[in-house]
Structure 1
């Protein structure tokens, strides 16, 4: 056990562990989005379609947030972007908690999405900056483990808080967000200098988001992830409404959905060893089929234990998908535009955060539960085929980027004891990253 623990957690930089701690604290209080659908339909008396639209507007704000956040992470810096986004999210949680009219709630959800997901690209880019390539799979798995440990506790606690007063959901969520901002401000140092300043010194042409969208291999992967996310995000938008229609309480939903976090916490640390060395495209294809099976079976669920079974099934698919996605995105992202690539990848989740509740609410209200869940299963099956077909081109792109990065690492790193040539010193001075992040970005 000690050997396994060292292999799983050893050797990671302190910055990673501060980010990991911030993730855990933030997720322990992530009450609001878990119960937003129940809050809107039961407390504010929104219809299913209206509730789906409000949650969808959160996704629109999220899309804007990850886009702006990705650019700011590269130009302004990871740390200030993270800190500002967390302060903004805490403020909007308090605004939403005390809002009672529909327009404020609707617009507040949009702005909350902007700040809440505006931090995601900077966070992911910072993790890639500080963690060597050989350790990224387990680093992302550890972070994902922290997310789900917090989620498991938050789901149960939020269900109990909702029984007492929905305002508690917003107050606790805002508090943990502020604590995370304090951890970032006090303990986390910048890992990459803003590129905007470097370009003014060197004359290097600006690289915009159009460069990311012109990458057809990456865009193909984004489309598959978008469809996967549309299926997966039904658990946070339409699943609580479906359970409510079956007469189940918010606290029951909290216990059932907490199984998702419990299973990931208990098994996710072993997943990297399970999938290590396996074909990633096949892993993602199998994961998609398992996810579709879990959501498809929700069509026949009507009691807590059966809902719990469906959650356990699609959670296994999620456990295989997440670490594979994280490492693949890191390897498909050129070092100089890592924040933008992370931002655009987050954009696919944000688009799904709009499409999942709006389409889900419409289908549920007009076609019924069975059509929604069986349709989700069909989408997941199509994604599985897409992963197999597009896998070889992705792996060729990963190999090409690794080959392109390798010469720069050897050319700019002279032998021990030999002074670096002037040209190399000039290149190092013009690079956007501080020494440690620079070395790691070239390894990637």
Structure 2
């Protein structure tokens, strides 16, 4: 919500990407710092966490106090007047709910990277913990280094809908590659494609949400889009491990790839009605 209020409208997607980069950087640094501190004392770890949260709160308060909204007028200024005047309800906005459903399916597929993919590396390919850590770290490094550049370059050449469709297809291909061969080179290539798909789709999910929301219901819209991710966090580990255990990992990867193709089709049809014409 803060991004939609204070970032320039033409920078909304890049602002979400920058925020994701910060989060990914935190995810990369946090575990290693936690391990280092806990070696000395868990109390020290908790004190440092408390201090970091307090500092963040002070910085946020100082930064936003008295700051004037850049987008005091709704982002939807390019939409027809009847769309602007009528205050929508996020929870009864059928067009947005359909878009969110597609987001749930994308997140269910993509979040295999957090649960079944490491199991696949360990139990099927028999990689060491170090090799698994390097592969997963490679994805984080790609995102931190290249996401802003990728978004800056692509959003000038393609529409939001095109990027969501392309990102979903790219992610689909990455899962298919897991069934081709298991050389380290192929694994790095697959995780690289998956990271590109993530960099294209996840920030744009937030962008579409921001443009669909109105001045007084941004929190509801952003929260509802966040729920789509949360649902996937709950469902994805159970379904993924169940399919892998019952039918094998190759079946899981192919099902995931087909699901992502369906997601790409869903984005094509359900994203356009939510955006101004110049972004469709």
What is the TM-score of this pair, normalised by structure 1?
0.51
C-alpha spacing 1:344/1:310, structure 2 compared with 1 (3 Å): same
After the TM superposition, which residues 105-184 of structure 1 pair with which residues of structure 2 at under 5 Å, given as runs? Answer: 125-153=1-29, 157=32, 177-184=49-56
- Which of residues 59, 65, 82 in structure 2 aligns to 1:187? 59
Q: 1:333 aligns with which of 213, 216, 223?
A: 213
The structure, 1 or 2, with the larger RCO (C-alpha pairs under 8 Å, 6+ apart) is: 2
Q: 1:146 to 1:185 in 2, by over 3 A?
A: closer
Selected match of 2:111 from 229, 233, 239: 233
Mapped to 2, the partners of 1:154 and 1:300 lie a distance apart of: 34
Cα distance in 1 for partners of 2:117, 2:143 equals 19
Contact 1:151 1:258 in 2 (8 A): no
Distance 1:226 1:330 in 2: 17
- Asked if residue 247 in structure 1 is aligned to residue 120 in structure 2, the reply is no
User: Which entry has the higher C-alpha Rg, 1 or 2?
Assistant: 1
Q: Residue 222 of structure 2 corresponds to which residue in structure 1?
A: 342
Q: 1:174 to 1:253 in 2, by over 3 A?
A: farther
Following TM superposition, by how much is the alpha carbon of 1:147 offset from its aligned partner in structure 2, in angstroms? 2.5
Is residue 257 from structure 1 mapped to residue 136 from structure 2 by the alignment? yes
Provide the rounded CA distance (Å) in 2 between the counterparts of 1:173 and 1:351. 30
Contact 2:211 2:274 in 1 (8 A): no
**C-alpha contact 2:206 2:225 (8 A) present in aligned 1:** no
What CA distance in whole angstroms lies between the structure 2 residues aligned with 1:240 and 1:394? 36
Q: Is the 8 A contact 1:243 1:302 kept in 2?
A: no
Q: Scaled by the length of structure 2, what TM-score is found?
A: 0.79
Unaligned runs of 5+ in 2: 67-87
| Pair 325,184 (structure 1): closer, same or farther in 2 beyond 3 Å | same
Structure-1 residue corresponding to 2:153 = 274
1:217 counterpart = 2:95: yes
SS of the residue corresponding to residue 118 of structure 2 reads helix
Contact 2:208–2:271 (CA<8 Å) still a contact in 1?
no
Once residues 175 and 270 of structure 1 are traced to their aligned partners in structure 2, the CA distance between those partners, rounded to angstroms, is 36
CA deviation after TM superposition for structure 1 residue 365, in Å = 0.7
CA distance in 1, matches of 2:204, 2:218: 17
Deviation at 1:397, TM superposition (A): 9.3
Counterpart mapping for 1:354-433 below 5 A: 354-395=234-275
Structure 2 CA distance, aligned partners of 1:350 and 1:314? 20
- Give RMSD over aligned pairs: 3.0
SS at match of 1:312: helix
| Separation in structure 1 between the aligned mates of residue 192 and residue 115 of structure 2, nearest angstrom | 18
| Residues 174 and 376 of structure 1, relative CA distance in 2, 3 Å threshold | farther
Task: State the secondary structure of the residue aligned to 1:247.
Answer: coil
1:177, distance to aligned residue in structure 2 (A): 4.5
The aligned length equals 252
Q: Deviations over 1:355-413 (max 9, x none)?
A: 110000100111100011111100000111111122331225999xxxxxxxxxxxxxx
The answer as to whether partners of 2:17 and 2:151 remain within 8 angstroms in 1 is yes
Note the C-alpha offset of 1:128.
2.5
